[in-house]
Amino acid sequence: MQQGNQTIMPDISFDEFKAATYEEWKDAAILALKGVPFDKVMFTKLVDGITLKPIYNQEDVPADIEQPGQFPYRRSTLPLGYAQKPWEIAQTVYSTCPAGFNKKAKSELQKGGTALTVSLAGDGSTKLKTLENWKTAFEGIELNALSVFFKPGSAGLTQLSMLIETCKAQGYSPSELKGGMLFDPMGTMLSKGSLCGGMGYCGAMKQMVTMCKWAIDNSKDDFCVIGVNGSIYTDAGASAMDEVAFMLSTATSYLRAMIAAGLSVDEVAPRIRFNAGISSNLFLEVCKLRALRMLWAEVVRACGGSDEAAKIKLSATTSRWTISKVDPWVNMLRGTSQAFSAVLGGVDSLDVTPFDVAVRQPDEFSSHIARNLQLMLAGEFCLDKVVDPAGGSYYVESFTETLAKDAYAIFQSIEAEGGMEESVKAGTVQAKVADIRNKRLVMVDQRRQTVVGCNKYVNLEEEALTSEERISKCSKKSGSCCSSDSAPILECDCVEEIAKLALAGSKTCKIQKALSNLYGCGCGFSSVTPLEQHHLTERFESLLDKASAYKAANGVRPMVHLANYGPLRLHKARADFAQDFLRSAGFDTSYSTGNECPEEMAKLAAESGCKACVICSTDATYPEIVAAFCSAVRSLVPDMEILLAGYPVEHIEAFKAAGVNDFIHVKANCYNVLSSLQTKLGI
C-alpha cells in the first residue's frame, strides 16, 4: 500500500496455514515413492559412517546450543565471528629457491593475501638451508606485520632459530612475531615414515619442549610452535571422524608431553595450531570443523585448562585428495566448494590449493585463481560480514552433534590403546585410513561417486596442462643436504646455542644432525609405516593415460563401436550411457544409426574397424537379437570383444553363452570393466 512517498507493507499472518508434522510429510513421501521402501531410499549412508536423514526438524537439534564466542565454541571462538576478525588468506608460496620465494610472496601480499603459508620440507618446498637464505627470502617482508605459518618438517627448533635471527636482522623483536613455526613430528613421521637425520620421536618432543619454553617467554599467544596437521589424513582418504579423532589424539599427546616437562595447560594450549584438510562433501566438512572446535575445548578443560586457553586456533587447506590430473580446470570448482565449507565452518585462516598442483609447480595463473577465490568469498559474497553463516540450520547443528559423538568415540578407542603413538606404532591409524580410502576408491570405480571429467563426462578433446620443471635454477645452486657431513657438538639445545650455529653459517641439516646426536633417542620409536599416498581419481587417470599413449603411438584414440538396434527411442538412452561409460577409459565411439537386422548390425560393427562393440537397445528386445548378432560378429571378426548395455538378470547366462563378454550398466564396476577391456585390446 502506497502512503505518500512511502510503501507501507501490510501485516502478513500465516495463522491460516496448519504446521505440517514429520509424520504427515513421511506419509506424503511414502505415497510419492509408489511402493519403494522409505527407509531404503530416503536415508543416505556416507562412507564416513554417518547416516543422513531425509529431513531435519527442530527436534533433532540439541536444546542447549550456545552463542558464538561461548564455550565450547561450536559456533565460533569470537562473539562476532568474522565480523570481529575475518579469516586470514594464507596461501602457500610455491617456490623452491629463496629469491623466487621472495618475489612470489611479495606479489601474493600485494594482490590480496593477508598471511603466508611456507612449506620448508618435502617435494616442492622452499629451500631455506642457511640464515642467508632466510634473509633473502624475507627481504622487504615485514615479519612483524603479518601472520606467517611455517611447516618445518623435522627441523622445528632449527628453523625457529633461523626465523628468530632473521627477525632480529630486520630490526624487529621476536615478541612481535605472528603465525607460527608449526612443528608436528607425528604428522611428519606419518607422511615420510621417519624424521630427518635419524632423530627419534623422543628427541623431537625435546625439541618441542624447548620451542614451547622459548615461545612462552619471548612471544605472544598468537605465535604457535606446535602444529597438528589433519590434511595428511584427508589427503590419504580418511573419514571426517577419523581426521578429527587423530588430530585430537595427536594434540592431546603433545599437550601431555609438555605438561610432563613442567609446562601448564594454559601455557601450552594457545601455542597449538590445527590445520584441517577440507574435502568435497560441503556440509560434512562444515560440521567437521565445528565438531573439532567443540571437542578440543572439552579436552583442554578436562586437562585443567581455562576457557580462554580452550579456544582453538584453526587453519584449513583444501584437499589434494580430490584434485584430478585430467580435466584439471574442474579442480577450480572443487576448490570453490571446499573453500566455502571452510569459511562456513569458521576457520581462522585458509589455504586454497591451486588447481594444477597435481601436474606441476603452480604457476601465476593458478595461484591467482586460488587467492581470488578467497577474496570473492569475502568481498563479493560477504561471508566476512556474518557472525556464524551456518548457525541455526537444523541439519548442520544435528550433523555436528552426530559427527562429534562419533569422532569422540574413535578418540576414546585410541586413548584406550595407549594414545596416538601406540596406535601409530601398531598400525591402527594407518589401517583405518586405508580401509576408508579403499571404500572411497571402490565408490569411484563403480561410479556411485561422480568425479566430473574423470569417471563421468570425460572431455576427450582436453589439452593436457604442460608440466614445467619443478626445481628452478636458483634452487639447484643451494646445494644438497649435508646430513652426511660432520656435525658440530651442541652443549645444550637452547635457542641461543642453535642461533650461534645459524649465525656462523651452518646449514639447517647440519644443525639438525647436531640435535640428533645430542638427544640420542632411546625410545625405539624412530620410524613408522607411513600413510600411503593416493588420490581419488588415480585409477581412472591411469586408464586415460594409457589411452593417451595409444593415441600418441597410433594417431587415433582407441575406438569402440556402438551397435544400436531399433529406432532412436529404443537405443539412445543406453547408447549415450555406454558412450559416457567408455570415455572414462579414453575410448571414442563410432555411433551407428538404429538397425533392425542383427546381421546388418554385425556387418557395420565389422566395417567400423573397431576391436570392440556394445549392443545398445532394451531388455525386451535383447532376447531377439543377441544370439544372432554375436554369431554374425564372430563369423566376421572372431576376436571382437562384445559388450552389452544393460544387465537383464534373467538372460545373463544365456547372453554369455551366446558370446557377450561383459556388461555395461549402472551397477557395474566401471574401472574393472574398462581396465579389462583395455587389457584385452592391448592398450
Does residue 311 share a domain with residue 167?
A: yes
* Grouped pLDDT means (10 residues each) for the chain, 683 residues: 62 80 92 93 91 92 90 96 96 95 96 97 90 96 95 94 94 94 97 86 93 95 96 97 98 98 98 97 97 98 97 98 95 97 98 95 95 96 91 93 97 97 96 97 96 95 72 42 61 79 84 81 82 93 96 96 94 96 97 87 95 97 96 96 97 97 97 98 95
Does residue 548 share a domain with residue 419?
A: no
Asked whether residue 184 is assigned to any structural domain, the reply reads yes
β-strands 223-229, 272-278 pairing = parallel
Grid cell, residue 386, equals 556474518
Laid out side by side, the sheet with 612-616 consists of 588-591, 559-564, 612-616, 641-645, 662-664
Helix axes 201-218, 508-519, angle to 10 degrees: 110
Asked whether residue 108 is assigned to any structural domain, the reply reads yes
Alpha carbon separation from 23 to 26, 28, 30, 31, 58 (Å, rounded): 5, 9, 10, 13, 14
Helix axes 508-519, 495-503, angle to 10 degrees: 140
Specify the CATH number for the domain of residue 402: 3.20.20.240
Alpha carbon separation from 175 to 130, 214, 395 (Å, rounded): 22, 10, 43
Domain end (from 404, 425, 446): 425
CA–CA distance, 40 with 61 (Å, rounded to integer): 24
Alpha carbon separation from 264 to 101, 254, 334, 522 (Å, rounded): 37, 12, 41, 26
Q: What are the contacts of 510-513 at 24+ separation with CB within 8 A?
A: 510/482, 510/483, 510/485, 511/155, 511/158, 511/161, 511/487, 512/154, 512/155, 512/158, 512/196, 512/197, 512/199, 512/483, 513/197, 513/483, 513/485, 513/487
Distance from the Cα of residue 570 to its chain's centroid: 42
Asked whether residue 261 is assigned to any structural domain, the reply reads yes
Asked whether residue 456 is assigned to any structural domain, the reply reads no
Asked whether residue 269 is assigned to any structural domain, the reply reads yes
Domain end (from 380, 400, 425): 425
63 CB-near residues (< 8 Å, 6+ apart): none
CA–CA distance, 422 with 428 (Å, rounded to integer): 9
Q: How many domains are contained in the chain?
A: 2
Does residue 199 share a domain with residue 334?
A: yes
Residue 463, pLDDT score: 84
Does residue 420 share a domain with residue 545?
A: no
Asked whether residue 522 is assigned to any structural domain, the reply reads no
What count of Cα atoms within 13 Å lies in the side-chain half-sphere of residue 103? Answer: 7
SS3 408: helix
Helix axes 330-345, 364-379, angle to 10 degrees: 40
CB 229 within 8 A of CB 187: yes
Residue 469, pLDDT score: 45
Domain end (from 381, 402, 425): 425
Asked whether residue 297 is assigned to any structural domain, the reply reads yes
Which residues share a beta bridge with 45? 51
- Domain region containing 657: 538-680
Residue 5, pLDDT score: 62
In this structure, the dihedral spanned by the alpha carbons of residues 531, 536, 538 and 543, taken in order and rounded to 10 degrees, is 150
Does residue 406 share a domain with residue 258?
A: yes
Does residue 224 share a domain with residue 90?
A: yes
Asked whether residue 591 is assigned to any structural domain, the reply reads yes
Does residue 347 share a domain with residue 198?
A: yes
Nearest of 38, 41, 20 to residue 29 by alpha carbon: 38
Specify the CATH number for the domain of residue 575: 3.40.50.280
